[in-house]
Amino acid sequence: MPSRALSRRSPAAPVDDSIPLHEQIRYRGLLTVAVMGASIIQILDTTIANVAIPHMRAALGATSETVNWVLTSYIIAAAVAMPITGWLADRIGRRRLFLGAVTGFIMASMACGAAQNLEEMVIFRFLQGISGAFIGPLSQSVMLDINPPERHARAMSIWGMGIMIGPIMGPVLGGWLTESVNWRWVFYVNLPVGLVTLALMWALLPATKTRQRKFDLFGFSMLALGLASLQLMLDRGAQKDWFDSTEIWIELGVSVACLWMFVIHLVTGRETLFNRQMLRDRNLVTAMGFMIVIGIVMFASMALLPPMLQNLFGWPVIDTGWVLAVRGVGILMSMWAAGQLLGKVDARWMVGTGLLVAALSLWQMSHWSLEMGMQPVIVSGLVQGIGMGLVFIPLNTMAFATIPPQYRTDGSSLMNLLRSIGGSVGISIVTTLLGANIQRSHEDMVAHITNSSTSLLDASTADRFGIVGDTAMAMVNAEINRQAAMVAYIDDFWLMMWVTLAALPLVFLLRPPKSDGPKASMAEMGH
């Protein structure tokens, strides 16, 4: 245990490397609140601004196409900045980087709320994305470091609750603020939480020692350019009709070429952005694959459900938000259970069970119809939340159980990055398939509209009745559109179910965490 002198150590003073960090922490509970506060405001901003886009378009004088840069700029900035989190944390110290990231995020949020035109908003959202990119990986590595190995499962449960529930509650909070106050409060809401978080972190967050680490400029340039091109292609593909557009082909070519050169450099280079020894760890690499699947299922579902429930079922924005928030209840339940079961049940069984439960929820969603009420949405949301929670906590615990502590920030940045990329890929795929399947289903249904199928209306003579006939045919076409859209949504749910099931074999690549934590595995990795 730390001495009395150590317990009075200034947070800004570097910690004693001879004593585990979790033994040098004062007020672990308050520090956890601060770290989670920073994590929650960052993850909320990935979805909270989406519902305010129509209001921003009018206020900023933007078009329906250009206003999407408000979202695109944030996504690209986060993707570019996130991979260098580990290098910056080593170079300037994790405390300075964390405090600087939270400060920058608060200031950028206030600037977004005060923006007067689209150009200002895009610039401020880009800065907000850069600051927010560091918060996720740093919060995860801090939560692991300030807790002893036997409490890592509980720490990841707390951290995971914020990460998983944030995207779900974002649209609810954003919709309420936009309707009740003003769209600018979608950004201003970060100020009170951010200031409290910043004060607590300033007082309690310990300063780790810096390490001299050469910056891999070539590797970072290739990775940043590749990721930026990929995110730009995914975000603008639907607007540009995908591969019928020269722009999309250019972005795809740049992305593939740059990411290929990054991989070759990572394998063969001397001083690389990520330590190759870390990437030899089977649990960490397997967990990265799972993060892509989690991103696809979680973010794609949240992208599909609000427009479906509002446009096809006619539900108000607030009711839609509250019904979807039930998913968060399932996540809380399963994460608490997972934290209690880890160490008693093989974590691999928990991950496999979680994937099967998540696939079950998507199977339930694939049987929805336009005549259903709220109950099927609530039940499937609860089931999916339980499944995602069962996967997330054991997976994160196993991913960091076999790597040395000095690689946690780098590992966390990669896992957060791949979850974000998985979400972007998933959203792009399901929205593109949705549009194509709506057209295909509409054509199939129209082919079956004959005089016998519309007994109250003769389609071949409807034009004789003037406005009445046109109105009747418009009503028939509107109903066909609704049914075609429902079929297209069901097809997307089927696809996500099979993607989830396809990830099951990855469970067999995982190794269960050892009870004495990552130190037991350091020898296996040659450290």
Q: Cβ of 50: how many Cβ atoms within 10 Å?
A: 18
CA distance 57 to 411: 38
CA distance 451 to 443: 17
For residue range 228-285, list pLDDT tens digits in order.
888 888 877 777 778 888 888 998 999 999 999 988 988 887 878 888 888 888 888 8
Q: Give the per-residue pLDDT at 390.
A: 86
Q: Give the per-residue pLDDT at 471.
A: 66
Domains 1-215 and 277-527 share a fold: yes
Contact status, residue 105 vs residue 42, Cβ threshold 8 Å: yes
Counted residue by residue, the chain has a size of 527
Q: Give the per-residue pLDDT at 59.
A: 77
Q: Give the per-residue pLDDT at 402.
A: 79
Q: DSSP string of 369-400?
A: -TT--SHHHHHHHHHHHHHHHHHHHHHHHHHH
CA distance 107 to 23: 34
Rounded (10°) CA dihedral 265, 402, 149, 338? 100
Q: Give the per-residue pLDDT at 2.
A: 44
The phi and psi torsions of 146 (rounded to 5 degrees) equal -85, 0
Q: Which residues of the chain have pLDDT under 50?
A: 1-8, 16, 18, 462, 465-466, 468-469, 516-527
Rounded (10°) CA dihedral 90, 95, 98, 103? -130
Contact status, residue 31 vs residue 205, Cβ threshold 8 Å: yes
CA distance 332 to 346: 20
Q: Give the per-residue pLDDT at 453.
A: 53
> Would you tell me the crossing angle of helices 347-365 and 375-401 to the nearest 10 degrees?
150
Hunting for tokens 């709320």 — which residue is that?
113
Under DSSP, is residue 342 helix (H, G, I), strand (E, B) or coil?
Answer: strand
**Domain locations in the chain as residue ranges:** 1-215, 217-272, 277-527
Q: Annotate 422-440 with three-state secondary structure.
A: HHHHHHHHHHHHHHHHHHH
Q: Which CATH number fits domain 277-527: 3.40.50.1000, 3.30.930.10, 1.20.1250.20, 3.40.630.30?
A: 1.20.1250.20
The token pair at 115 is 């923006």
Q: What is the largest CA-CA distance in the chain?
A: 94
CA distance 518 to 278: 12
Contact status, residue 419 vs residue 292, Cβ threshold 8 Å: yes
CATH number of 1-215: 1.20.1250.20
Contact status, residue 226 vs residue 254, Cβ threshold 8 Å: yes
Q: Give the per-residue pLDDT at 254.
A: 92
- What is the residue type of 40? I
